[in-house]
Structure 1
Amino acid sequence: MKKIIPLLALAATLSGCAALQNKAPDYRKMMVGNWMLDDISVEGQEGSFKVTLFNEAPLECFSGSAWTLTRPNSLGTYVLNEGVDCQAGLQREIRWTIYKTGTGEQQFQFKRLDAEGDPMDNNVGYRLDILSLDASGMQLRDEVTVNGQPLYLVYTFSRQ
């Protein structure tokens, strides 16, 4: 009897933890749709520097870009804006998903695709922390290294 009580307590604790894990928001469903990247803010460093985002284009080219994320096949696109050093109207196909870290945090993960639908960049993808996500907007954060120091980019999207 003395052994059964601790086992029952452990089982109750584990089932309670599982119930909490199941209450995590379904970011995958929430992200499906059309998004506008309204702002990219920089945290962690001051001054002027040049950053190429996602091995594609300068930061300025992504500000105002349109993103579409679909669910059935996990595909999506982003379309860049006009600007200096930007290929206006460049449309890139992506494959995206939600990655769950070992600590239970969720990240937006994507890989750029070539014209045949194959992963680019030697099959390397990108993961951005999900800071907030609701029916009207989302904020994602990316860490990059500039001059040997971490730099955080916060992407603010609005649903279209």
Structure 2
Amino acid sequence: MPCGDVDAWRRELLIAGGLVRDGEASVCEEAGPRHDRYVELVDMVDDTEGPAVVHALIASLRAEEDHGAHEAVYGALERFPGKDLVRGTVLAVPDLLSIPRDHSGQVLQLLTLPAGDEDLRVFTAAGRRLEPGLRAGLVALITDHEADEWLADERSHGRLRLTQDQGVGA
């Protein structure tokens, strides 16, 4: 990341990630510049920064309507090595449980596609060490997305498991 100061970058990303939504009074004044800055911040990522930056990217997915800005985040996440994507996603579990449903589903699907079996075993092991409330929330989120579109296809279904009797990490 050319900016060097990851903490400052993260703070600005999270602020810009609260994109101006349609219907707000300040849409005309803020929407364009905020959207552009958000995409610019995401584009600074070069996939070498590790799990903390993956976590920040996921945490920034807060706006329901983003006018395409979050596509830059998904593209950035896809470029990370599987182990960094997995570790960053585990760090971001509290955020996954609070961001809009479509965003959490897309992040989890991205996790299942490039990650190898060893990466998913790391996810399973780390997920099992989560605080019980977070683990239960993550299990419910995965189950929900497997019943619906994001994790329902054969490439993704059953690959993310946190219980002893299921899937790759068992």
Is the structural similarity TM-score above 0.5?
Answer: no
Q: TM-score range by the shorter chain?
A: under 0.3
Which of the pair is proportionally richer in strand? Answer: 1
- Given the two structures, how large is their TM-score scaled by the length of structure 1? 0.20
